[in-house]
Structure 1
Amino acid sequence: MTPLPTFPRLFCLVSERDDLALLPALADAGVDGFQVRAKSLATGDLVALTRSVAAAVRVSGAVVVVNDRLDVALAAGADGVHLGASDLAVADARRIAPGLVIGATCRSRAEVVAAAEAGADYAGFGPVFATSSKAGLPASLGVAAVTAAAGTLPLVAIGGISAATAGEVRAAGADGVAVIGAIWRHPDPLVAAKELVAAVS
């Protein structure tokens, strides 16, 4: 496994619909992780998007992972891949790409333990709160579930997290948080990012 020397405290999910011109400023403001998630893009376009994101944020030291697609992460030179329950198995991804950071979506402590045993470097845990950013999610898990799941792998809490709740989630045991709407739906994404960075510091 390749654990990160300093685990990102704030992941911002990025798609082709977001204002990519803001990425350098977001990274400079302290957003230290970016997850490329663009499920509708063709493979070549997703590779190009990932390369663009990496070029924009790596100068600030931010980590770039790709949602679902190990092949794209490898082709684009990303730092890692984040795998959901229906994606390539963590153990297979670890065998194919021993040098990449691998995250796994988890919704219970048992799933976090299983992900660790399979070779994951971190667990994306959620949805902690209700969210409209992704359809078909189960009921929100709540902050207590974060505490129950903490301690095996670094946890990245996701789902309805805002600057107002990020500190609470971190205090409950999350090593970091991941957001979409809290940045991209804010009237001023850069201001939102700065508020989130302060909340998770």
Structure 2
Amino acid sequence: MNLKESLQLYFVMGSQNCNEHPALVLEKALAGGITMFQFREKGSHGLKGKPLVKMALELQQLCQKHNVPFIINDDVELALSLNADGVHIGQEDESVEVVRKKIGDKIIGVSAHNVKEAQLASESGADYLGVGPMFHTTTKNDCRIVQGPNVIESIRAMGIRLPLVGIGGIHAGNVNKVIEAGSDGVAVISAISKQPEQSHSLFQVVQDSLIKSF
């Protein structure tokens, strides 16, 4: 599976997003068809130190069992120590160039909220973009102003062909709008973390949307 295909149903999660044990949630999500996973342990209640590493390792092993790329949010050192498949960085994190020197040919994903940020990430050597927020979301405390799928259309109109996913407030009912705008898939948090048994039906919706937009 190439990177573009791996972005079809991208599940992002940390312990703070789950109602049950994260490993159990991820196991259900993997069985349901997620194509990439990002470990995003954030907030005041997030794990730190040894418990963080232990959790990351447990989730990584589940991903390896299902041949699904395991990405770590922000923490380049943790990603290197676990030999993760890549990292995802935000606009306030280290630059793509600095991260690239540290992690070599591993995957680098970058959060982008507008055309300018997308262009810079693309020119700097990012492997994919996470664009959003698409819709209103309460999952992220530091969420930016809702951009809507139009921002993906604008990015594509500028000739940026880098693989990208829409993120923020995405569920089965609005996947189609994101894919139609030019996204290669969707990144979700609560749509799966709160109801992992729904991941298979969400995967089917994404597949149907991609086929229609092809």
TM-score after normalising by structure 1: 0.90
Match of 2:199 in 1: 193
Q: Which amino acid aligns with 2:41?
A: A
Match of 1:12 in 2: 11
RMSD, aligned α-carbons: 1.6
Structure 1 residue 76: Cα displacement: 1.4
Match of 1:22 in 2: 25
Alpha carbons 1:160, 1:179 under 8 Å: kept? yes
Deviation readout 1:75-98 (Å, 9 max, x if unpaired)? 112111000111121110011111
CA–CA distance in structure 2, aligned partners of residues 12 and 63 of structure 1: 11
Q: Which ranges of 4 or more aligned residues in structure 1 deviate by more than 4 Å?
A: none
Give the secondary-structure state (helix, strand or coil) at the position aligned to 1:164.
coil
Question: Share of identical aligned residues, percent?
Answer: 32
Match of 1:135 among 124, 141, 151: 141
Match of 2:59 among 41, 48, 53: 53
Q: Which amino acid aligns with 1:183?
A: I
CA–CA distance in structure 2, aligned partners of residues 173 and 46 of structure 1: 35
Structure 2 residue 82 is matched with structure 1 residue 73 = no
Alpha carbons 1:128, 1:161 under 8 Å: kept? yes
Match of 2:212 in 1: none
Alpha carbons 1:47, 1:75 under 8 Å: kept? no
Match of 1:158 in 2: 167
TM-score after normalising by structure 2: 0.85
Deviation readout 1:128-184 (Å, 9 max, x if unpaired)? 101000113222101111111134311111000001111221121111211111112
Match of 2:153 among 123, 147, 155: 147
Q: Which amino acid aligns with 2:13?
A: V
Gaps of 5+ in 1: none
Structure 1 residue 5: Cα displacement: 7.0
Give the secondary-structure state (helix, strand or coil) at the position aligned to 1:163.
coil
Alpha carbons 1:43, 1:72 under 8 Å: kept? no
CA–CA distance in structure 2, aligned partners of residues 43 and 5 of structure 1: 33
Alpha carbons 2:25, 2:193 under 8 Å: kept? no
Q: Which amino acid aligns with 1:10?
A: L
CA–CA distance in structure 1, aligned partners of residues 152 and 11 of structure 2: 19
Match of 1:44 in 2: 50
CA–CA distance in structure 1, aligned partners of residues 83 and 97 of structure 2: 20
CA–CA distance in structure 1, aligned partners of residues 173 and 140 of structure 2: 21
Structure 1 residue 72: Cα displacement: 0.7
Gaps of 5+ in 2: 208-214
Aligned residues: 196
Structure 1 residue 43: Cα displacement: 3.7
